[in-house]
Amino acid sequence: MGGGSGSSNTSQTTKVQLPAWLEQASEQNFARAKTLAETQTYQPYTGDRVAGTTPDQDAAATQIRAMQGQTGGALQGLGDASASFGSWQPQQVTAGQLAGMDLTPYMNPYTGEVEANALKALESSRMQSQQGIEDRFLSSKAFGGSRQALQSAVTDSMTAQKAAETSAQLRQANYNQAVQGATGDITRDMTAQQLNQAAGLSGAQLNLAGLRQAGDLYGVGQKANIADISLLDTLGQQGQARNQAGLDIAYQNWLEQQGFDKSQIEWMGQMLAASPGSQTTTVNTTGNAGGSKANPLMGALGGAAAGASIGSIVPGFGTAIGAVAGGLLGGLSSR
């Protein structure tokens, strides 16, 4: 790209110069960086990076391990107990039979004595009747006749009949009383068997209900234990998070300490690059200008190239900063 009209014998030289104090400070900063790079060795971080489990977490883990197998064992026990009721048989109820039953224990033991006394009384009455017959026939002077014999025979026959009836009635009453007592015992035994059967069935139902309730209570208890363990583990996680935060802070502090010298060097370089009057640009022109005028664009490009070159050489100055500064000065010097 060409400039204005004029003689082509004109040449222009642009030179960027740093102030002595800036050049000395830049050299010192570079020397410090060089020494740091050559002497600093890798230093591994020896602290903990990951927080370990807390006592609460360890306790929760121990309790969880202790619960392993408890549910299966409890359910197995409840299942075995429930299975035992599957083969349970209710008590058999058997009705008693009066036929062939020994009624002797139910007989009145005083029946024989009562019968004997009754027969004795009848015999006494018979003898009194016979005596009366004899007395009547003696008084009528017909003692020993056929009529006396007939009345005596009738009296004996009636007494014998009465004795038989009395004995039969007493024995019948005794038998009826024995049958009634035996029947009562059979009925009571039947009732007792039925009550025992009902009680056994009710007991089995209560046992099954108890097993179901035990299973429910075990489930409730297990959930309560798990909830307690979860709370304990949550508390442990909070403590672990606090411990981890402390470890992270310690590691960050270590990183800042390790990079302190480097950050100081970088900061110093930034300060030097941003210092006012950090560079002086001198423009020398030789030959016959012939009224020619320098190309401002070419001057700016030349100054930018020179500034970038210096910025890349001088530590802390920066290629980009040098290019911008050199471009501005080059543009101004071409005016």
**244-259 per-position pLDDT tens digit:** 999 999 999 999 988 8
- Per-residue model confidence (pLDDT) at position 315: 45
Query: What one-letter code names the amino acid at 14?
Result: T
Predicted confidence band of residue 102 (pLDDT cuts 50, 70, 90): confident
Query: What are the extents of the domains in the chain?
Result: 11-40+258-333, 55-255
Core vs surface per residue 149-178: b (16+ CB within 10 A) or e? eebbeebeeebeebbeebbeebeeebeeeb
Give dist(CA 247, CA 48) in Å, integer. 7
Q: What is the dihedral of CA 204, 209, 215, 216, to 10 degrees?
A: 180
Contact 129, 151 (CB under 8 A): no
pLDDT one-digit tens code per residue, 180-191: 888 988 899 889
Is the CB of residue 106 less than 8 Å from the CB of residue 177? yes
Task: Give pTM, 2 decimals.
Answer: 0.45
The 10s digit of each residue's pLDDT in 30-72 is: 888 888 888 888 888 999 999 999 999 999 999 989 888 888 8
Residues 6+ apart with CB under 8 A from 20: none
Q: Rounded distance, CA 80 to CA 64, Å?
A: 26
Where does the chain show beta strands of DSSP type E? 11-17, 280-286
